[in-house]
Amino acid sequence: MAESFFSTIKRELIYQQTWTSRHDAELAIFSWIEGWYNTERIQDDLGMLSPDEFETTYYASHDTPVMAGTTESSFQ
């Protein structure tokens, strides 16, 4: 899994640009991971939806919102 991630980031970001400083490279990597890879990239395990789409669909189909660190049963 980790090898697949690093292969993807190298192919889609690292090998496509050069940066003038390490700081600029770190910002680009952070932006790529948080702005696209974690939120928009479709996932086979999520029914070919992005994490954002999956969460939107999930919460739209459930009456009670689930907050981090809780379970649905704790609301009942």
Please give the residue range of the domain that contains residue 53: 27-63
- Along the chain (76 residues), what's the average pLDDT of each consecutive run of 10 residues? 85 91 93 76 79 84 66 50
Q: Considering the domain boundaries, does residue 49 fall inside one?
A: yes
Q: Return the pLDDT at 75.
A: 47
Q: Considering the domain boundaries, does residue 22 fall inside one?
A: no
Q: Considering the domain boundaries, does residue 3 fall inside one?
A: no
Q: Considering the domain boundaries, does residue 44 fall inside one?
A: yes
Q: Which residues of 45-61 are buried (b: 16+ CB within 10 A; e: fewer)?
A: eeeebbeebbeeeeeee
Task: Please count the structural domains in the chain.
Answer: 1
Q: Return the pLDDT at 28.
A: 92
Q: What pTM, to 2 d.p., does this model score?
A: 0.50
The DSSP letter of residue 43 is B
